[in-house]
Structure 1
């Protein structure tokens, strides 16, 4: 009887522990304007690769995901102000950002590339090809630093959202847009992108250590749980299943760096 009672207590504790884990909510912060990684569907729900990965990680950690959207420029301050618990918004891991947040292991690598209007007559999109041209990109991104470092003879215009820059390119107010190649490829595949085409090669910004999930620096337990879940979904096939919904290439492959390209 004592053995049965002890077993019942242990089972009850296990059930309570599981219920507590499932009741725990992790608030996932994202932007919503970076398809196919994070964007709004016709019903206004945020969807995309980042969202599917986040949901898979929550399932692995036995917690509930709650999605919160915010503007890109203020996303790190919003995290540190406790508006949400993580940033999973295709954020590149850099030493500068790591001074104010902690990052998970990378869950993909993203190269950046130029799209130009017209017939693509701007050569290979080297700095000399784009001298005197107007280039747009989204503010507070690594692309800004690349343009400022290597394209000093071009006019650089910054936009709160990448969509705004692409609209100006489509309307002839920009000569080129520089951004993540996957996002630009998604845009070019739509009717909106009929005006334009890729030029040059995709590169990875200097200091870009891959795309990770950001958490507040004091949230060490959450960071460890996220890294464990990333490892688990990569090992059990869940990551590959999600990746294949969006891409037909290996997004863990590292593109060459901008210094390798332009120096």
Structure 2
């Protein structure tokens, strides 16, 4: 079989290597494996024939079970994007269901190829694993009721101390709310379900929860929940891989980049609509904007 590099040189000489031609040349998994370092996980995964992904199963809209007991959610969509890039088949994945505490150990022991489990990127964790480019920016947001007279952020701000906000109990809870609603009355509760239940029972005017939860709940139950239109405290979510393997990390980054900003965006766009109720971004040819 002709060497990939030689094939590319011949196509360039003949003036035949445009974008579509190059896509077809590099589309072969075997040729891709031949280019990877002999000790790279990229070669191992391609030879194995399926991807092993560590993730959770109990946190909608990121990773949860559908009515058939199959994993679904935004993290699962990102895993399918990787499998599609590797094998042109989004189903070639073995999922390892794990607790959040197992994310770093399972990467570093080689139990999984990649962790995609709403993992916040931080300098401390980056000393233990290598992170992909971010695929989402999480934040705190305000969930309100559509029948409330304080359903928008402006309404809550104007209400001053009359605005009651529930939030999960932690050392930063009061400060987190006061960043955007300095006069609000803060109710700290012991669990996330209770934070939302306080809104359901009208004990509070808004629940301060993750932005993704606001989008998820407002999309599923528009008669019950409303996005107040305010988010803050940005946190980056990325996939995690083992350190010391630039080929594998580069592949993950490239595949995510093409899905988010490029032309192979069907899975990513469907996930934005299904889990967040968002209109996918327009990708315009020309200068890059990322």
Please give the TM-score of this superposition, normalised by the length of structure 1: 0.65
Shift in Å, 1:137: 3.9
Instruction: Give matches, 1:206-245, under 5 Å.
Output: 206=234, 208=235, 210-234=236-260, 237-245=263-271
Instruction: Give matches, 1:2-151, under 5 Å.
Output: 21-62=46-87, 64-72=92-100, 74-80=101-107, 82=109, 83-117=111-145, 119-121=148-150, 124=154, 125=156, 129=160, 133-137=164-168, 147=176, 150=179
Match of 1:183 among 213, 238, 259: 213
Deviations 1:56-101 (A, max 9, x none): 21231349422123344x2544545645332213333233432333
Shift in Å, 1:132: 8.3
Question: Structure 1: any 5+ residue segments left out of the alignment?
Answer: 1-6, 253-263
RCO comparison, higher one (Cα < 8 Å, 6+): 1
The 1:56–1:197 alpha-carbon spacing in structure 2 relative to 1, beyond 3 Å, is closer
Distance 1:78 1:246 in 2: 30
Shift in Å, 1:197: 2.7
Deviations 1:112-132 (A, max 9, x none): 311135615275345984688
Q: Is the 8 A contact 1:90 1:212 kept in 2?
A: yes
Question: Structure 2: any 5+ residue segments left out of the alignment?
Answer: 5-29, 35-42, 283-290
Q: May I ask how many residue pairs the two structures share in their alignment?
A: 232
Distance 1:81 1:149 in 2: 39
The 1:138–1:186 alpha-carbon spacing in structure 2 relative to 1, beyond 3 Å, is farther
Distance 2:188 2:95 in 1: 33
The 1:228–1:130 alpha-carbon spacing in structure 2 relative to 1, beyond 3 Å, is farther
Shift in Å, 1:28: 1.6
Distance 1:232 1:188 in 2: 29
The structure number with the bigger radius of gyration is 2
Q: Is the 8 A contact 1:169 1:175 kept in 2?
A: yes
Report the RMSD for the aligned CA atoms in angstroms.
4.2
Q: Is the 8 A contact 2:169 2:188 kept in 1?
A: no
The 1:241–1:86 alpha-carbon spacing in structure 2 relative to 1, beyond 3 Å, is closer
Counterpart for residue 156 of structure 1: 188
Q: Is the 8 A contact 1:93 1:212 kept in 2?
A: yes
Please give the TM-score of this superposition, normalised by the length of structure 2: 0.60
2:196 is equivalent to residue 170 of structure 1: no
Deviations 1:125-178 (A, max 9, x none): 459846884522498xxx96972773796243353xx45543453245655322
